Amino acid sequence: MNKWLEELKQLDTKNPGNWPWPFKIGAFVLIFVLILAAGYFGVYQSQLSDLEGQQKKEADLKTTFLEKKKLAVNLEAYQQQRAEIEQSFGALLKQLPTRSEMDALLIDINQAGLGRGLQFDLFKPAPTETTTEFYAERPINLKVIGNYHDLGAFASDVSKLPRIVLLNDLNVVIAKDGILNMEAVAKTYRYLDPDEVAAQRKAAKNAAKAGAPKSAGEK
């Protein structure tokens, strides 16, 4: 071992051609390893990262392709389903009266009670409506008097009206001789007219602008 170390110290770095063959081979191996290391860290490693990125991109594209292929295969079924939904939605919209039809609906509710022989102690539509993006809700406070069967028939008649009317907050109290007092809130709904929808959207847009934070240059 000491002999090798002594010979290594005596090597002339300026004239490697005169080195003994074992040292020449060792030097070649060392240079080869250094070249490989430089190539790996300088070139191959970055290319490997690019390759991994491209492989991930390829996997994402395959996933997207399969999803779109699935949609394309089921396109006809989706179109049919959409048509059915639009038809159902149209049928529901027809059950919502317009603004001009609301008075007729209130009369229908009143007539449904009178037709069953009920006595109205209170029939008070709310003065204002609660509006959403597409429809308005208007509650009606009711107090009616009648027997059990007539009150049940009235509730059934209201549910069968061509327009949507829901009876909420029912409270039935026995008066006398089988006569009942029923209090309820009948909620009616109507579809907003196009001008009302436009006004709703404009008001929401203006409210959003008013609530948006101002930039540093604005006062």
| 94, 135 contact by CB (below 8 A) | no
Segment 172-193, tens digit of pLDDT: 898 777 789 999 998 888 777 7
Segment 109-129, tens digit of pLDDT: 889 999 999 999 999 988 888
- Which has more confidence, 153 or 163? 153
d(CA 51, CA 45): 10
**pLDDT band at 153; cut points 50, 70, 90:** very high
pLDDT at 12: 57
d(CA 195, CA 218): 33
C-alpha angle 19/23/24, rounded to 5°? 70
pLDDT at 183: 93
* 106, two tokens: 């209130």
* 93, two tokens: 């919209």
Q: What is the CATH number of domain 99-194?
A: 3.30.70.60
Only one residue has tokens 């907003």, namely: 192
Domain boundaries, the chain: 1-10+19-72, 99-194
**pLDDT band at 219; cut points 50, 70, 90:** very low
d(CA 76, CA 134): 29
The region of weakest confidence among 34-43, 74-83, 102-111, 157-166 is 34-43
d(CA 83, CA 52): 44
This model's pTM is above 0.75? no
Residue 155 has pLDDT above 70, yes or no: yes
pLDDT at 18: 62
Please give the average per-residue pLDDT across 133-155, as a whole number. 87
d(CA 172, CA 109): 19
Residue 93 has pLDDT above 80, yes or no: no
